[in-house]
């Protein structure tokens, strides 16, 4: 296919940079949100602004989850390198536009949210086609290493984004978007001049499956958007799962996906070749990848809230400094992953994917149990060790699982197969965030109002002030911790209640320790449920991984390069 032995390394270097950049942007905003909200002058704890916050957090991943299959199929039809190069360009231009937000308040937030959509579209074109380009470029006995390195780059981007967001936002919030621009410009030119299109990557007289694309995009979008609004307050309820629009989105989305399956089974040139699911390694690998993403996707949010809202303030850090230090204290997760990911990809070329991926899922579940058993105010060495093992288990699973999926399909379907793999991963992550937030908010709703009321009254707040603050949606307090804001001090100031307190009461309520002590019990109750759920999902992923069978690690599927 490619006569030059150096070409495969050029393809690996370029796609690795692209996937790293794409995934970095999915998480870098999480830690940079406090600086972004301050920069655009938006109150992070106002219930009216919760929607802006959620869309900034989840909009990027929602778009990627919906579009990666479509752009993967377009790569199979019109050329993977062509679609990939266009993705680099779109991503870079959107990054420039994001950094030039001219507005403040809600309008400024809308500018960022809307420009994140084309940025995610460009990231989808990169993500969906990079694995297919590598599978075309590398022989089967090196494919696990190549795909593993690419997968490691993507997940490493997610983890490193947590630290980079804190460092860059300390300089200027716009820097979190500018950081992509030099890489994007260089990567676009590099890919244009160096990447080559294999002749068989294109379909003769291609036809776009419009009904399949529309039904899939509508169905998955409706479910993911409804899940996003499900964790927002609705009426007198702390969450919106009873909102008629949320229920309509969930039901309508499910019906649209059923229609999509019917369309794909009957159309001559479908968007997705459903026969791929008859390949056991493909179907089992995607099921395992989805359940692991569902178990792990919301983890970084829970840990960030745990660190920023409770542990760091109790250890002397001011709330404004917690976003940066949360990223630093999560570094063991990144280190464990960066060590284990490439090694696991290399090993999967020699001993196969089944044992490695299954073992990674099992260890992931055990780490969740370990985190569940930690006290809220944990010794850091225990927490850091569990994070390092969890990162290593993630790398141990991700690289072999991707290699198994991509190595199992014919060459003509690699673009859509890569897109489907990414869709399962991204949709699992987005749904995980909704599920985990729902579980924690449910725990907070049951205990936080009375705990907050009694705590405020005990510190000298009047009954009316205590009742008003205790009646606010618990999600506001949780997001306040996520954004590096002392929720109690912020709310007291916002409702002009600070002056009604005694000096000692004001110092107690607005200090570093009051809110962490107040929220630790209700939050930990929710965390226990979250980690039990995540451990159960990891067990399901391990069972799914065992179902993939034991093909030879050097088996080459029909149409693949030797």
pLDDT score at 234: 85
Q: Specify which residues 237 forms β-bridges with.
A: 234
CB 149 within 8 A of CB 9: no
Sign of CA dihedral 245, 250, 251, 255: positive
Gap between the Cα atoms of 376 and 270, Å rounded: 51
pLDDT score at 551: 52
Among left, alpha and beta (phi > 0; psi -120 to 50; other), residue 559 is left
Q: Which two tokens stand for residue 367?
A: 């780490």
Which residues have a Cβ under 8 Å from the Cβ of 514 and sit 6 or more positions away? 455, 459, 488, 508
Gap between the Cα atoms of 66 and 328, Å rounded: 32
Collapsing DSSP to helix, strand or coil, 79 comes out as coil
Q: Comparing C-alpha atoms, which of 108, 91, 99 is closest to residue 43?
A: 108
Sign of CA dihedral 128, 130, 133, 138: negative
Q: Specify which residues 234 forms β-bridges with.
A: 237
CB 418 within 8 A of CB 64: no
pLDDT score at 290: 93
pLDDT score at 558: 39
pLDDT score at 374: 94
Collapsing DSSP to helix, strand or coil, 237 comes out as strand
Which residue has tokens 């602004």? 49
CA distances from 471 to 71, 237, 463 (A): 46, 11, 12
Gap between the Cα atoms of 498 and 461, Å rounded: 9
Q: Which two tokens stand for residue 297?
A: 């996707």
pLDDT score at 118: 94
The vertex-63 CA angle with 50 and 136, nearest 5°, equals 150
Burial class (CB in 10 A: 0-12, 13-18, 19+), 547: middle
SS3 content of the chain, % helix, strand, coil (to 5): 80, 0, 20
Gap between the Cα atoms of 512 and 308, Å rounded: 11
Which residues have a Cβ under 8 Å from the Cβ of 152 and sit 6 or more positions away? 337, 338, 341, 342, 345, 395, 398, 399
Long-range contacts of the stretch 90-93 (C-beta < 8 A, 24+): 90/118, 90/119, 90/121, 90/122, 90/125, 91/21, 91/22, 91/119, 91/122, 91/123, 91/125, 91/126, 91/180, 91/184, 92/122, 92/180, 92/181, 92/184, 92/185, 92/188, 93/118, 93/122
Q: Comparing C-alpha atoms, which of 154, 202, 153 is closest to residue 415?
A: 202
Gap between the Cα atoms of 81 and 79, Å rounded: 6
Gap between the Cα atoms of 455 and 510, Å rounded: 12
Q: Comparing C-alpha atoms, which of 409, 427, 151, 153 is closest to residue 290?
A: 427
For 510, phi then psi, to 5°, come to -100, 5
pLDDT score at 495: 67
pTM for the predicted model, two decimal places? 0.81
The vertex-541 CA angle with 554 and 289, nearest 5°, equals 65
Give me the residue spans of the domains in the chain.
210-270
Which residue has tokens 């996003």? 228
Return per-residue pLDDT of the chain as tens, 562 residues.
445 568 889 999 999 888 888 878 767 887 788 788 888 988 766 767 878 878 887 788 888 888 888 888 888 888 889 999 999 899 999 999 998 889 988 899 999 999 999 999 998 899 888 888 888 888 877 876 787 777 778 777 877 787 788 788 778 888 888 888 888 888 889 888 989 887 654 555 667 788 888 998 899 889 988 988 888 888 878 888 999 999 999 999 999 999 999 998 888 878 788 888 989 999 999 999 999 999 987 777 788 888 988 899 999 888 878 877 888 898 898 888 888 877 887 888 888 888 999 999 999 999 999 999 999 999 999 999 999 999 999 889 988 888 888 888 887 787 788 788 888 888 888 888 888 888 888 878 877 888 888 878 877 778 887 887 788 777 777 777 666 677 777 777 776 666 666 677 777 777 788 888 878 888 888 888 889 999 999 999 999 999 886 654 444 443 333 3
Which residue has tokens 């060459």? 411
Gap between the Cα atoms of 235 and 223, Å rounded: 21
Gap between the Cα atoms of 102 and 40, Å rounded: 9
CB 519 within 8 A of CB 448: yes
Which residues have a Cβ under 8 Å from the Cβ of 477 and sit 6 or more positions away? 45, 444, 448, 452, 487, 515, 519
Burial class (CB in 10 A: 0-12, 13-18, 19+), 57: buried
Sign of CA dihedral 257, 63, 232, 484: positive
CB 465 within 8 A of CB 456: yes
Gap between the Cα atoms of 172 and 175, Å rounded: 5
Gap between the Cα atoms of 418 and 130, Å rounded: 8
């Amino acid at each position: 296919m490619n006569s030059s032995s150096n070409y495969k390394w050029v393809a690996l270097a370029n796609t690795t940079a692209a996937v790293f950049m794409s995934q970095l942007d999915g998480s870098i905003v999480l830690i940079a949100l406090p600086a972004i909200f301050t920069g655009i002058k938006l109150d992070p704890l106002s219930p009216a602004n919760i929607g802006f916050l959620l869309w900034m957090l989840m909009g990027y991943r929602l778009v990627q989850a919906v579009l990666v299959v479509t752009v993967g199929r377009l790569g199979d039809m019109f050329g993977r390198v062509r679609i990939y190069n266009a993705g680099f360009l779109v991503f870079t231009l959107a990054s420039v536009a994001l950094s030039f937000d001219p507005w403040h308040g809600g309008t400024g937030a809308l500018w960022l949210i809307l420009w994140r959509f084309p940025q995610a579209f460009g990231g989808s074109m990169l993500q969906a086609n990079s694995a297919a380009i590598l599978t075309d470029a590398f022989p089967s006995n090196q494919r696990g290493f190549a795909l593993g390195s690419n997968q490691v780059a993507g997940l490493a981007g997610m983890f490193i984004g947590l630290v980079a967001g804190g460092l860059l936002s300390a300089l200027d919030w716009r820097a979190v978007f500018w950081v992509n621009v030099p890489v994007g410009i260089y990567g676009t030119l590099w890919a244009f001049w160096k990447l080559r299109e294999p002749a068989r990557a294109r379909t003769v007289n291609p036809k776009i499956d419009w009904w399949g694309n529309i039904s899939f995009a509508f169905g998955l979008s409706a479910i993911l958007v409804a899940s996003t609004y499900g964790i927002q307050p609705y009426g007198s309820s702390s969450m919106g799962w009873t909102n008629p629009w949320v229920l309509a989105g969930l039901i309508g989305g499910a019906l649209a996906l059923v229609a999509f399956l019917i369309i794909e089974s009957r159309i001559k040139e479908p968007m997705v070749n459903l026969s791929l699911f008859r390949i056991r390694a493909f179907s089992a690998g995607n099921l395992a990848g989805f359940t692991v993403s569902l178990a792990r996707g919301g983890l970084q949010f829970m840990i960030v809230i745990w660190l920023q809202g409770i542990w760091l303030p109790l250890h002397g850090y001011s709330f404004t400094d917690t976003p940066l230090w949360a990223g630093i204290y999560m570094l063991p997760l990144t280190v464990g992953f960066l060590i284990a990911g490439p090694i696991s990809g290399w090993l999967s070329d020699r001993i196969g994917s089944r044992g490695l991926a299954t073992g990674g899922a099992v260890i992931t579940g055990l780490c969740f149990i370990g985190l569940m058993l930690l006290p809220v105010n944990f010794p850091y060495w225990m927490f850091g060790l569990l994070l390092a093992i969890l990162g290593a288990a993630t790398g141990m699973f991700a690289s072999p699982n991707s290699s198994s999926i991509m190595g199992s399909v014919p060459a003509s379907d690699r673009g859509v197969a890569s897109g489907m793999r990414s869709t399962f991963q991204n949709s699992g992550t987005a749904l995980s965030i909704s599920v985990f937030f729902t579980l924690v908010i449910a725990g907070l709703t049951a205990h936080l109002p009375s705990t907050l009321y009694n705590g405020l009254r005990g510190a000298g707040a009047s009954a009316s002030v205590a009742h008003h603050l205790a009646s606010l949606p618990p999600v506001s307090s949780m997001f306040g911790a996520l954004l590096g804001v002392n929720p109690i001090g912020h709310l007291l100031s916002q409702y002009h209640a600070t002056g009604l307190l005694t000096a000692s009461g004001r110092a107690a309520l607005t200090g570093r320790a009051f809110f962490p002590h107040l929220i630790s019990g209700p939050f930990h109750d929710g965390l226990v449920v979250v980690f039990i759920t995540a451990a159960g999902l990891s067990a399901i992923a391990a069972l799914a991984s065992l179902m993939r069978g034991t093909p030879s690690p050097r088996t080459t599927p029909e149409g693949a390069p030797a």
